[in-house]
Structure 1
Amino acid sequence: MSRSSTRATLMTMRHRKLVSTWSPLATAFNAPPSKRINFTREDVGLFRMPELRTFEGFYLLRDNVENKSQDLIAEAISSQRQRKMVDIFDELSDSLCKVADLAEFIRIAHPKNKYMEAAEQACISICGVVESLNTHKPLYQALRKVVEQGDLKPTTEVDQHVARLFLFDFEQCGIHLPEAERLRVVRLNDYILQLGQKFMNGAAQPSVLPRSYVPESIRNYFPTSGENVIITGLCTNAENVQMREAAYRLYLQPSETQEELLRDLLLCRHELAKSCGFETYAHRALNASTMERPELVHEFIDQLSDQLRPRAEADFALMTQMKRKESGQPNVLAEIWDTPYFTTQLKRQSLEEQANEFLPYFSLGGCMEGLDNLLQALYGVRLENREMEPGESWHSDIYKLAVVHESEGLLGYIYCDFFERSGKPNQDCHFTIQGGKRLPDGTYQLPIVVVMLGLAQPRWAGPTLLSPARVDNLFHEMGHAMHSMLARTEYQHVTGTRCATDFAEVPSVLMEYFASDPRVLRTFARHFQTHKPISEDMLQRLCASKHLFAASETQLQVFYSALDQEYHGDMAQKGGNTTETLKAVQNRYYGLPHVENTAWQLRFSHLVGYGAKYYAYLISKTIASWIWQTYFESNPFNRQSGERYRAEILAHGGAVPSRQLVANFLQREMTPSVLANSLIHEIDTDETKIKELIVSRS
């Protein structure tokens, strides 16, 4: 053998050795899913549902569930009922959700129009069934009798809690009211839906303004149409301060149309809440939540705000210092349009973070291997890449994971729709296709979920590489998926993420803590070509960069939460201009002043989807922080803590009130002061670490 051929053989062997260091799971995700041609087998149908071998199967599913609903209604109101009422209601809910959730996902994710249209028709049909149920007084009365007087069959605390949740869902539509008032509630609900859609459409529209409105020096930075300039968003990371300021002032100009829509929306929500017996819409929205009532949210916000103020002021003072140094102007101040820009600048200057320097160390396969290692350590669960049958998926680039427990066996399936494509929604999210529940024969209905991301398609020369923010998003959405997988509830109505809104984000936010811990990242952050581990210096800089200006960022979330509560509380009763309310709340809760002649709330579409619940993410983060500090900060791979977390939190979904779950797990009452102190402790600890790192590098 010649010397050159020997060298080539050695290089090939060395290359194979390097490649083999990835696990089979990582190898699968670092290559695009193979496109298979089906020569022999019949399509099994979407999600292995034989009815969905063609789009017409949605019509069959729709007809079947409509017929089954009628049978279950007849059973529920029968004097000869043989099952617990809650069992019947959960079977009814399960039947409807299996079609509605599947159809809603296919409606937005399937690339073929015929499937999308059939799924949309199924969604409309199921909505019609639900509307008819919401007006079915005999069904409501049968459930109400059980809740108020007890069932004919023996029930548990969980049974009673779930039955109360079903009853509350019923009464949100006003079925318990006199007919005239019920019809008014129906009209209000319809009008609120229309107002919300119009407001969201308006919030996304660009600002079109005469050229004269934009300073001549930056006019060319913006797209134009004839004599007009088009402002499509906030230029938060623009180096030119004039551009940042102009975009903020012009994009957020007040709109009479949006103002009227928002005022009407808030007023209708208030009237709806009053009709249903609640003091404000916030009281209605927080019913059965972790925080339970708006007064506790206000107390939490106030206590957190008071402690944040001096810490946020220090953040803004540092931003002002950076702005003065950059501009050469000794008297300028950091403004609200500067905060994202100087956060990025501090990463570059103090932590010497270069654009895209971390990308090579976070291949998609490597990240999935890291997740797998973590789940095995905490729960004894592994992720197995499974080959799909023909017709099982809606696109060729989908992966299927089986979630397998070391002793319990198969827990469920996660379909990974990770890559961007034309027509696919540009959002990272988790969809429940089938909820888990205990079946009459004692077996468990396995959960099926989809995790959707918007990653770039892998290139032939290498795998998809993730930015640190994308790594966080992957762990976050897989946190939702594992909540569904690890739950073991009697009822699908309360399985996994089907819990209180202000608790649903806790498991996913907690996963972000693992994704930000150097001990976890060391297990999988390796260069996708050389397999060299990420350096300790890069690792420390990466983890520190995630916590820069945490106090001011948290203060901004407190401000948003306080405004949302005010809009759906006192202001809704008093009426008035929403911008005037914003000014007062901003002055109380945020360290930077309101900019005159702007109205950013008219672009704040979360007011529609999270009405009176915007605080939920802040509370979820606080609870996740508390859990992290108590159980995982000392050892993120602690199996005992993982098992306890699953048994006492994840396994219950929404079957036990979340406030009770948290108090039992953390062995302390969940008061506003305890929550606020937990988050402040985290901010202070991270700030100390950042300062130590910056000093060590100077």
Structure 2
Amino acid sequence: MHALIRKCAAAHVRANSNFIHISTSTAPSIKETGLYGFHHLKTPKGFQRFVDDAIERSQELVNYIAGMPSSPEIIRAMDEISDTVCSVIDSAELCRHTHPDREFVDEASKASLRVNEFLHYLNTNHSIYKAVNKAEKDSNSLTHEAHRAARFLRMDLEKGGIHLCSEKLDRANELAIDIIQLSREYNENIITDPGHVDIFPASKIPKKLHHLVSPIYRNLPGSSKGSWGLRDKTKEKGFRLATESSTLQGFLQCAPDAGVRKVAYVQGNSVPHANLEVLDKLIATRHEFAQLMGHKSYAEFALHSTMAASPEVVMSFLLEMSKVVRPKADQEFEAIQNFKRENSGDPNGELDPWDEAYFTWLMKSAKYKLDSSAIASYFPLQQCIEGLKVLVESLFGVTFHGVPLAPGESWHPDVMKIVLHHPTEAIYNTCFQGDLGYLYLDLKSRKGKHPICAHFAIRGGRQVSETEYQLPVLAIVTCKSEEYRTTRKCSVDQSTSFNIDFSTTCLDWVVALVCNFSGSSLAPVRLNHSEVETLFHEFGHALHSLLSRTEYQHFSGTRVVLDFAETPSNLFE
């Protein structure tokens, strides 16, 4: 548990794990640099030097804090530790989730683990704890924000167990490391072992779904193995469906065979098998940790510092919400079930879990004459970006435009970078002439990229001096499929593919969709409604960080209590 520096709510992978977030990067430059503008990250091994430098600088600051300087200096030094150490954490997490080079990913994982180990030292350092307590009590010499930072730092340190006796603290540290490793193992298993289901005969899969599956063959009874020359006579063709979430969702929505849907649903929700053991261990470890901290449950521990404050408040809220939405939900469930009975030939048929997506979509199409391609035609990606531009300018007076990426700064050709600008910002930050911060956009799925939609804070904003403000640097990561989403259109041809090219001058971004239906043609990449919501949601997170101006990066943007962190994003959505 890295209590010293609190992780932002977004990376969300909309992540909610317990380790940290914060960062440092450089302003845009045409000179050669490394990933995200960090000169260390020109090569994978650069992560090692990145960690070394962060630890060295942080240790200097720890020694300075131990000398008990003035209370404002204690808080300022603590904030610099956060900024320094978490520049590595944030960069490593973004790299682990998005970089196509496995060596970069591996080195980023090693860097993350090394820094996490160092954070245990920081979070259990009694000199730091003593200094933070001193600063909190010395409220007269602190600004309101500095005093609030002192209070939160003290509370966050105590979340890690620094107030416990040495024996309990040692055990808390062991459990914290186990929680991090188990959480990471759980997520990695989902990525590396999505599972699959084999479906025979091939006739059970209609042609419109062939782009979601791969052909396979099995020996017929009595046939000899390896008779490839007689494949048509001795082997039966089938299809293999990878049961990762987005593919499974599209398949269940469009597969007409109930038996196939059931097999796919059950198998898809039963993998990865290794996570059953991991989850049991994680639950037990979290429970022991929470009890060590003096809480009845991990839920109580996780919620006590949020606005909700307790599991009882959360449960009360959910029950009240349930009372409001349950009548409508029951009504809709009954309507879908009746639609199934009317259209399946079984007047007593029940609506099974694997039926819901299929019959919901059929009913929408029949009742509302819903044409998903017509809906998507309103949402070309270029126009969605233009819509964001218009909204941001009309609401906040903020403009944004694309800027060139320096050599070595990007991790993939699809990545774009934009800068947000406000004319009066130059008054407060003359160094950057009105710039508010920078935002990377990585919107397209590809091999090796985690299937997530997330906002990563690479660097938090903070006041460096009376005339200088450290600008935030963010990244939005989504996974627009290579193929047109079958979750929204079930009649797409299996040869559909994308080729996207974004220019980086102003907002003249060229977005092209190459569809090989009956030859080559160009059309805009279109988002379905859910993807538009996701884009706006994550952009709301980014705006939260880019528009906030805080004295300390500890409070920058999404580095707030978790149940408030989603408010700006949902508002923008």
TM bin (shorter chain): 0.7 to 0.9
Contact in 1 for aligned 2:47/2:111 (Cα 8 Å): yes
Matched, 1:478 2:539: yes
**Structure-2 separation of matches of 1:160 and 1:359:** 50
Q: Aligned residue for 2:8?
A: none
Matched, 1:302 2:302: no
Q: Aligned residue for 2:363?
A: 346
Matches within 5 A, 1:510-549: 510-512=571-573
**Structure-2 separation of matches of 1:118 and 1:200:** 18
Contact in 1 for aligned 2:420/2:438 (Cα 8 Å): yes
Contact in 1 for aligned 2:120/2:173 (Cα 8 Å): no
Contact in 2 for aligned 1:206/1:230 (Cα 8 Å): no
CA gap 1:468/1:231 in 2 versus in 1, 3 angstroms = closer
**Matching residue within 152, 157, 162 for 1:170:** 157
Q: How much does 1:230 deviate?
A: 7.3
Q: Aligned residue for 1:140?
A: 129
**Structure-1 separation of matches of 2:463 and 2:258:** 59
Q: Aligned residue for 2:11?
A: none
Q: Aligned residue for 1:313?
A: 330
Q: Aligned residue for 1:66?
A: 55
Q: Aligned residue for 1:389?
A: 406
Q: Aligned residue for 2:457?
A: 432
Q: How much does 1:104 deviate?
A: 2.6
Q: Which runs of 5+ in 1 are unaligned?
A: 1-40, 513-698
CA gap 1:232/1:404 in 2 versus in 1, 3 angstroms = same
Q: How much does 1:405 deviate?
A: 1.3
CA gap 1:140/1:407 in 2 versus in 1, 3 angstroms = same
Q: Aligned residue for 1:90?
A: 79
Matches within 5 A, 1:399-438: 399-408=416-425, 409-438=434-463
Q: Aligned residue for 2:343?
A: 326
**Matching residue within 135, 138, 159 for 1:151:** 138
Matches within 5 A, 1:39-50: 42-50=31-39
Q: How many residues align?
A: 468
Q: How much does 1:495 deviate?
A: 0.8
Scaled by the length of structure 2, the TM-score of the pair is 0.73
Q: Aligned residue for 2:564?
A: 503
**Matching residue within 257, 269, 273 for 1:240:** 257
**Structure-1 separation of matches of 2:197 and 2:92:** 41
Matches within 5 A, 1:673-688: none
**Structure-2 separation of matches of 1:255 and 1:452:** 24
**Letter in structure 1 aligned against 2:169:** R
**Structure-1 separation of matches of 2:297 and 2:414:** 47
**Structure-2 separation of matches of 1:168 and 1:188:** 19
**Structure-1 separation of matches of 2:525 and 2:70:** 56
Of residues 300-309 and 100-109 in structure 1, the stretch that sits farther from structure 2 once superposed is 100-109
Q: Aligned residue for 2:310?
A: 293
Deviation per residue, 1:406-458 (Å, 9 max, x gap): 32221111112223333222322111111101122342110111112223432
Contact in 1 for aligned 2:444/2:478 (Cα 8 Å): yes
Q: How much does 1:81 deviate?
A: 3.8
Q: How much does 1:128 deviate?
A: 2.9
Q: How much does 1:219 deviate?
A: 10
**Letter in structure 1 aligned against 2:440:** Y
Q: How much does 1:297 deviate?
A: 0.5
**Letter in structure 1 aligned against 2:550:** T
- Secondary structure of 2:418 counterpart: strand
* Higher helix residue share: 1
Q: How much does 1:281 deviate?
A: 1.0
Matches within 5 A, 1:466-615: 466-512=527-573
**Letter in structure 2 aligned against 1:170:** L
Contact in 2 for aligned 1:435/1:446 (Cα 8 Å): yes
**Structure-1 separation of matches of 2:353 and 2:437:** 46
- Secondary structure of 1:417 counterpart: strand
CA gap 1:251/1:82 in 2 versus in 1, 3 angstroms = closer
Deviation per residue, 1:139-195 (Å, 9 max, x gap): 222223433xx1276124432332232223322332221121112212222333444
Of residues 469-478 and 186-195 in structure 1, the stretch that sits farther from structure 2 once superposed is 186-195
**Structure-2 separation of matches of 1:247 and 1:425:** 22
**Structure-1 separation of matches of 2:267 and 2:38:** 51
- Secondary structure of 2:439 counterpart: strand
**Matching residue within 90, 100, 112 for 1:101:** 90
Q: How much does 1:511 deviate?
A: 1.8
**Matching residue within 41, 64, 72 for 1:75:** 64
Matched, 1:269 2:286: yes
Q: Which runs of 5+ in 2 are unaligned?
A: 1-29, 220-237, 426-433, 483-498, 501-511, 515-521
Q: Aligned residue for 1:179?
A: 166
CA gap 1:382/1:219 in 2 versus in 1, 3 angstroms = closer
Q: Aligned residue for 1:447?
A: 472
**Letter in structure 2 aligned against 1:321:** N
Q: How much does 1:377 deviate?
A: 0.8
Q: How much does 1:372 deviate?
A: 0.4
Deviation per residue, 1:21-76 (Å, 9 max, x gap): xxxxxxxxxxxxxxxxxxxx751444344444455544443332222111211121
Q: Aligned residue for 1:279?
A: 296
Contact in 1 for aligned 2:68/2:131 (Cα 8 Å): no
- Secondary structure of 1:333 counterpart: coil
Q: How much does 1:488 deviate?
A: 0.8
Q: How much does 1:102 deviate?
A: 1.9
- Secondary structure of 1:505 counterpart: helix
Matched, 1:364 2:381: yes
**Structure-2 separation of matches of 1:289 and 1:449:** 24
Of residues 276-285 and 225-234 in structure 1, the stretch that sits farther from structure 2 once superposed is 225-234
- Secondary structure of 1:127 counterpart: helix
**Structure-2 separation of matches of 1:162 and 1:59:** 30
**Letter in structure 1 aligned against 2:407:** P
- Secondary structure of 1:350 counterpart: helix
Q: How much does 1:368 deviate?
A: 1.0
Q: How much does 1:200 deviate?
A: 4.9
Q: How much does 1:389 deviate?
A: 3.2
Q: How much does 1:484 deviate?
A: 0.9
**Structure-2 separation of matches of 1:57 and 1:98:** 13
Q: How much does 1:199 deviate?
A: 4.8
**Structure-1 separation of matches of 2:259 and 2:298:** 41
Contact in 2 for aligned 1:207/1:230 (Cα 8 Å): no
- Secondary structure of 1:357 counterpart: helix
CA gap 1:134/1:417 in 2 versus in 1, 3 angstroms = same
**Structure-2 separation of matches of 1:86 and 1:376:** 35
CA gap 1:63/1:289 in 2 versus in 1, 3 angstroms = same
**Letter in structure 1 aligned against 2:396:** Y
Deviation per residue, 1:539-569 (Å, 9 max, x gap): xxxxxxxxxxxxxxxxxxxxxxxxxxxxxxx
CA gap 1:140/1:250 in 2 versus in 1, 3 angstroms = same
**Structure-1 separation of matches of 2:92 and 2:565:** 22
Contact in 2 for aligned 1:85/1:151 (Cα 8 Å): no
Deviation per residue, 1:116-137 (Å, 9 max, x gap): 4444443233223212212322
**Structure-1 separation of matches of 2:90 and 2:36:** 13
- Of all paired residues, the percent bearing the same amino acid is 33
**Structure-1 separation of matches of 2:275 and 2:414:** 40
CA gap 1:216/1:413 in 2 versus in 1, 3 angstroms = closer
**Letter in structure 2 aligned against 1:453:** T
**Letter in structure 2 aligned against 1:135:** T
